Chains A and B, each alone.
Chain A
Amino acid sequence: EVQLLESGGDLVQPGGSLRLSCAASGFTFGSCAMSWVRQAPGKGLEWVSGISGSGGSIYYADSVKGRFTVSRDNSKNTLYLQMNSLRAEDTAMYYCAKDMFNIGPDFDYWGQGTLVTVSS
């Protein structure tokens, strides 16, 4: 059974940093592209970043480029999102999602999400 378990969400002050993790199981993690998708309170879904199975291809939404860094440790079956220079508008539920094929909106499995709140 495929499982994705996010962790690391917290209350952080503007300008602060946070690292999210997504522990994966039930599939060959290193063979699958992964993405982070967020949903701000009362808003729609927003793709944040995607990374290929090998980690060789990485993409970011313009809204987080230069502030967020996605990475993965295939030996630990874990996806990460390092979030720096956080802003109030980064407040959201963050989901990790497994891609069916390549990096793209073909997310067949999702985690339950981890909440990030940016506020003073």
Chain B
Amino acid sequence: QSVLTQPPSASGTPGQRVTISCSGSSSNIGTNYVYWYQKFPGTAPKLLIYRSDQRPSGVPDRFSGSKSGTSASLAISGLRSEDEADYYCAAWDDSRSGVVFGGGAHLTVL
């Protein structure tokens, strides 16, 4: 049972816009930044969004993040087949004094 709650799966067709949610609590998302990672099987995770809505250089602007209260979302617009991957949210948790991850959402591009 992950501290941050994500849907296990999401899907969309090429060109579509999809969103992946991440729900937490006042001790993590409610008071700290949210981070998003993309992970393909057999490779290391890649940082997509930091500080809730910032994109590292090199990440396409098709990817965007937002946060409201104790929830956050990752939006992917102009969906492409190469976006099919697992997506994880993460945040610092003040109660646990540590990092907590969501369980991950597998995105399927139909």
- If the complex has contacts A44-B88, A45-B37, A45-B88, are A104 and B99 also in contact, measured as CB distance less than 8 A? yes
Chain A positions 63-110 with a Cβ under 8 Å from a chain B Cβ:
95, 100, 103-108, 110
**Once the chains bind, are A50 and B103 in contact (CB under 8 Å)?**
no
Q: Quick check: is A61 within 8 A (CB to CB) of the other chain? A: yes
**Once the chains bind, are A59 and B44 in contact (CB under 8 Å)?**
no
Chain A positions 23-44 with a Cβ under 8 Å from a chain B Cβ:
35, 37, 44
Q: How far is the CB of B43 from chain A (nearest CB, A)?
A: 8
Q: How far is the CB of A23 from chain B (nearest CB, A)?
A: 15
Q: Quick check: is A111 within 8 A (CB to CB) of the other chain? A: yes
**Once the chains bind, are A59 and B97 in contact (CB under 8 Å)?**
yes
User: How many residues does chain B have at the interface if contact means C-beta atoms less than 8 Å apart?
Assistant: 28
**Once the chains bind, are B104 and A61 in contact (CB under 8 Å)?**
no
Q: Quick check: is B91 within 8 A (CB to CB) of the other chain? A: yes
What residues on B are CB-neighbors of A112 within 8 Å? 43-44
Q: How far is the CB of B98 from chain A (nearest CB, A)?
A: 5
Closest to B50 in A: A106
What residues on B are CB-neighbors of A44 within 8 Å? 2, 86, 88, 101-104
- If the complex has contacts A44-B2, A44-B88, A45-B88, are A107 and B47 also in contact, measured as CB distance less than 8 A? yes
**Once the chains bind, are A47 and B2 in contact (CB under 8 Å)?**
no
Chain B positions 27-51 with a Cβ under 8 Å from a chain A Cβ:
32-33, 35, 37, 39, 43-47, 50-51
B residues apposed to A, CB below 8 Å: 2, 32-33, 35, 37, 39, 43-47, 50-51, 56, 86, 88, 90-92, 96-104
Minimum-distance CB pairs A-B, first 5? A105-B90, A47-B99, A110-B44, A44-B104, A104-B92
Q: A59-B97, A103-B99, A111-B44 are in contact. List 13 more A-B contacts (CB 8 A).
A: A37-B99, A45-B90, A47-B90, A60-B98, A61-B98, A62-B98, A100-B50, A105-B90, A105-B91, A106-B47, A108-B50, A108-B56, A113-B44
